[in-house]
Structure 1
Amino acid sequence: MESSTSNSQLSIIHYPLSIIHYRNLLKWSLNHRQIVVGLAVVSLIAGIALIPLIPKGFIPKLDRGEFNIVYTSPLPDLSSRFPGLNPSSQQETAASAEAPTENTGSIFGDLFQSPIKLLLYKSRTVAGEIEEAVLDSPEVASVFTTVGVRGEPNKGKLYVKLKEERQFHTAEVQEQLRSALPQLEGVTISVEDIQFVDTGGEKPLQVALVGDDLASLYSSAKEIKARVAQLPGLVDVTVTGEDNKADSIEQIERLNGQRVAYISANLSQNQALGDATDQVIAVAQDILPDGVEIDLKGDSARIGSIFGSFAGTLALSVICMLSLLLLVFGRLLEPLVVGLSLPLSIVGAMLALLVTQSDFGMISLIGLIFLLGLLDKNALLLMDYANQLRKSGLSRTEAVLQTGVVRLRPIMMTTASTILGMLPIALGLGAGSELRQPMAVAIIGGLITSTLLSLIVVPVLYTLLEDLWLKVFKRSY
């Protein structure tokens, strides 16, 4: 045993000073295992404590160079011009009326013979004023206008295409246009991103107020809207139906048999969806009367379901990985060490997201799952080589120390190469990098801390759990 120890000590003389220092640190850690485990637990708690401080998002906004501007012009009182038209049913009439079939030469000809033509004419006038303001921006390449959207002639949509070579990000151009667009009386304007999937025109943040009392429902909805509009980061705030006709609400919707009013809003450039939703809920709960409940819709609801299903996905990934390791090693010790070492990445990933102010959302969650496959590699390299050295005759302590010295450089090199490969994505370089950036940030942060900690914690857990296993095994017999 003494010759084995002396040979090991002589062999490290030729190693760089950094490796010698690491060996000494590892030796100290093996003699103070409770302290090392305690520090690992503290790092895990610190990582979890950082989560509330990180912006909670859904899908990052892309610099797509295109977006929509949706407007709604007010419904005028047409009862004097069209005596047979009931003012309370103008929205229904406008949406369902058929245009005359006779040849008028223009859809805007004979305005006084059809209310829908008059509404289209007024809507086109509003669209022209908005289009003129949009084209004044030097970043805009073209605008395509559609009058009459989703069966409502008083609504329209402008598709805005930005120049390929431009100075500002798409979100910055949207902010500029919000302040530059004309303030037309009774007209609501919403500058919106183009969704990956057609969601029926809903905005990213949407909250439903559900109740039976219509008057109480919409009075509280308007009060909530007024307060939400004052919150930083929320723009284009609307309430269902209030933009159809001045000083009245003509649109009544139902959800599961109850009346419902939707409060919707777009997000400014640096506003995270999860944080904005929490602010709106906090405002609404202070105002809601008895009999009115709040329910999340749109992306606000989707983000909640994603976080809810992530725990199950993560657990399934860990179970599959540990099951494979159990088949390879033939015993529970190594898979258990790998499983306990996986949380070491949380503190680094959360700290990286916090420092860079990247969203903790669907993309960063994918990065955390991706980390699982990277982190078990380090633990496997250490434990597999330690088992080989022990089979060759070395004691457990010497095998662990020699494993750390031999495997330090390969582990550090593979980790460094992975980090450097992810660095361009984390810096936001390349087209569409905004979508992948939170994932790269989480991976880089998790790799840094997990690699540094695993070089110490994995050997400590390896020896500690084996001792505990032997004690339990001896007691059972």
Structure 2
Amino acid sequence: VTLIAVFGIFAASIYSATLLPGEFTPKKDIGRTLVSLELPPGTTLAETRAVTNRLSELVHEIPEVESVFVEAGTSGDINKASLTVNYGPKTERSRGAVAIETDIMARLATVPDLRANLINERGSRDVSLSVLGSDREAVTRAAHELERQMKGLPQVTGVSTTAALPRPEIQLVPRGDLAAEFGITANALASVLRVATIGDTDANLAKFTEGDEQYPIVVRLRETDRRNLLGAQDLRITTPSGVSVPVRLVADMRLTEGPSVVTRYDRDFETKVEATLAPGYVLGEATEAVDALPIAQNMPDGTRIATTGDAEIMADIFAGFATAMGAGILLVYVLLSVLFSSFVRPIVVLLTLPLAIGGAIFALYIFDMAMGMAVVIGFLLLMGIVTKNAIMLLAFARDAMSRGLSRPEAMVEAGHKRARPIIMTSIAMTAGMLPSAFVTHLGGEFRAPMAIAVIGGIILSTALSLVFVPVLFSLVDGTREWVMRLVMPSARAETARQAARG
């Protein structure tokens, strides 16, 4: 019965690893919220400043808010800004970060023509997916369809795409025959417009020298003329023969619209679909829900979805954890083989590892926590703790057997004399982890899952190792002796035959 229970718990521990959702790191209440802001293309710097000042006043109306910091135009896009809202340590306020962020976004939603999204400390959204393809229009359509379907998922909120909003632009299309006749190239036309609007490149500008300083002299159209760029078609361009002709003679200028930015990834057009996790959900649950959407199951021809952001990092961490766990188990086996002078007995120690994993996952399930980077670190800690308990039992039993005790008597004596130090060390480790298991302090959200996993694994593995290790040792060591009895007579007979031939 005990043996059946051993393998039952072993199988349940392995299966239980698939029950918990995954996440990169738990959401932390650090007393600060970051919000990205985007206004319509063509917004001037003065308009951006006016809108962000209004947003700052709205957010300041929240009682917990202590300060608001606005940063705009740093990336070269004057229609984009970021909002940093500080509301102090969680021990000094009654509401949590989730409730305050909900209040902030509700107030920002009252401002028209504003795209506002919560971002993490790394400057990205919680959920980030890249739609890739060779056709920009197909990628944009697929991204918008994915956005539409994701808006129906309860796991995410604030779904949006990074597809650039169309903005007005003036296109200058050369008249091929006339431009070729005058010897005017598309690059020459572009240079005329560049010099007229933003000035020439810095290397070509004349310099004014004053002492040790040089100042570039920028020559361009007056601001009133730059506001009516259709009038630029009256500018004159010099042909290679020295004749000056108006731009309208060799090119057509028209007002149209186009994307403000084109993004590529691995030489494919890229449009990201991003979202914020809804309260009560983690990254693993959101990505599983997105993967189950019809658009994700059947992407249009020429397009594909690539996971980016925290989900990509999480997948890399779990893959690295599997490699580290495998390498750790192999190293433990090698060291135990040297310690026990046997390749079979270390298997007993390794078979106790799933007991700790099962206890850790069960504890996480009780406290409704996901499996993230901190939990992975906790699993690695449990490997050393659990193997320590089994080693103490087997080493004592091995010494007792060398003194002439039978295997059952040796295991009973080992359990009797080593139970106290095993339990005491487990209690000490559990007590040391208890402060980290509480999330009342700053940053406790990250350490709490690791502490809960370690405590659960220690409690279950300590209780079961005192029962299962003797049974497993009797099974494995008895099987080893049985095989040796089968092999050794054959070996002796083969040695005798070889001696007779000699």
TM norm. shorter chain > 0.5: yes
1:446 aligns to 2:412 (yes or no): no
2:76 corresponds in structure 1 to 151
Please name the residue that 1:394 is paired with.
405
Shift of residue 245, structure 1, vs aligned partner:
4.7
Q: Tell me how large the CA RMSD over aligned residues is.
A: 2.0
CA distance in 1: counterparts of 2:154 and 2:258, whole angstroms = 27
Question: Following TM superposition, where does structure 1 have runs of at least 4 consecutive aligned residues deviating by more than 6 angstroms?
Answer: none
1:85 equivalent in structure 2: none
Q: 1:381 aligns with which of 384, 392, 415?
A: 392
The CA deviation at 1:299 is 1.0
Deviations 1:140-172 (A, max 9, x none): 110111121311100011111113321222233
Residue pairs, 1:457-472, within 5 angstroms = 457-472=468-483
Residue 142 of structure 2 is aligned with which of 220, 229, 247? 220
Partner of 2:159: 237
Matched, 1:187 2:107: no
Equivalences for 1:259-270 in 2 at 5 Å?
259-270=269-280
Aligned positions, number = 397
**Structure 2: how far apart are the matches of 1:411 and 1:219?**
62
Per mean C-alpha deviation after superposition, the further-off stretch among 185-194 and 40-49 is: 40-49
> 1:407: how far off?
2.0
- Tell me the equivalent position of 2:178: none
Structure 2 unaligned regions, length at least 5: 169-256, 489-502
TM-score under structure 1 length normalisation: 0.79
Instruction: Indicate conservation of the 8 Å contact 1:129/1:182, yes or no.
Output: no
d(CA) in 2 for partners of 1:238, 1:133: 23
CA distance in 1, matches of 2:166, 2:378: 44
Is structure 2 residue 31 aligned with structure 1 residue 65?
yes
Q: Which moved more, 1:42-51 or 1:347-356?
A: 42-51
Residue 249 of structure 1 and its aligned partner are, at CA, apart by 4.5
Do the aligned residues in 1 keep the contact of 2:155 with 2:285 (CA within 8 Å)?
Answer: no
Could you tell me how far apart the structure 1 residues matched to 2:18 and 2:165 are?
A: 36
Q: Trace 1:340-351 onto structure 2 (pairs within 5 A).
A: 340-351=351-362
- Equivalent position of 2:105 in the other structure: 178
Which deviates more, 43-52 or 334-343?
Answer: 43-52
Offset from partner CA, 1:302-327 (integer Å, 9 cap, x none): 11111112111001111222222222
Q: Residue 162 of structure 2 aligns to which amino acid in structure 1? A: T
Question: Partner residue of 2:198?
Answer: none
CA contact (8 A) 1:241 1:250 kept: no
Deviation of the 1:287 alpha carbon: 5.6
Name the residue aligned to 2:64.
139
CA contact (8 A) 1:425 1:437 kept: yes
Q: Counterpart in 2 of 1:109?
A: none
Partners of 2:259 and 2:6 lie apart in 1 by 58
Do residues 318 (structure 1) and 245 (structure 2) align?
Answer: no
**Residue of structure 1 equivalent to 2:445:** 434
Shift of 1:243: 4.4
Q: Distance in 1 between matches of 2:401 and 2:323?
A: 38
CA distance in 2, matches of 1:466, 1:214: 66
**Matched residues in 2 for 1:174 and 1:260: separation?**
29
Q: CA deviation at 1:379?
A: 0.6
State the AA in 1 paired with 2:274.
Answer: S
Task: After TM superposition, give the deviation of residue 263 of structure 1 in Å.
Answer: 0.6
Q: Percent same amino acid at aligned positions?
A: 31
Query: Within the alignment, does 1:39 sit opposite 2:49 as a pair?
Result: no
> How far did residue 236 of structure 1 move?
2.8
1:309 partner amino acid? G
Counterparts in 2 of 1:380 and 1:449: CA distance versus 1, 3 Å: same
State the match for 1:121 in structure 2.
Answer: 46
Q: Is the 8 A contact 1:253 1:260 kept in 2?
A: yes
Which residue is equivalent to 2:487? 476
1:160 alignment partner, one of 85, 92, 95: 85
Residue 365 (str. 1) matches residue 376 (str. 2): yes
Question: 1:107-143: CA deviations, max 9, x gaps?
Answer: xxxxxxxxxxx61111112212211111111111101
How many angstroms apart in 2 are the aligned matches of 1:124 and 1:244?
22
Q: Deviations over 1:391-413 (max 9, x none)?
A: 33322211111221222222222
SS at match of 1:259: strand
| 1:5-24 aligned within 5 A | none
- Work out which of the two has the higher radius of gyration on C-alpha atoms and give 1 or 2: 2
Once the two structures are overlaid, the 10-residue window that deviates more, 453-462 or 161-170, is 161-170
Q: Are 1:251 and 2:261 counterparts?
A: yes
Structure 1 position 442, deviation (Å)? 0.9
**Cα deviation, residue 387, structure 1:** 1.9
Residue number among 48, 55, 68 corresponding to 1:130 in the alignment: 55
Who is 1:280 aligned against? 290
Q: 2:13–2:354: 8 Å Cα contact kept in structure 1?
A: no
| CA drift at 1:259 | 1.5
TM-score by length of 2: 0.75
1:106-117 correspondence to structure 2 within 5 Å: none
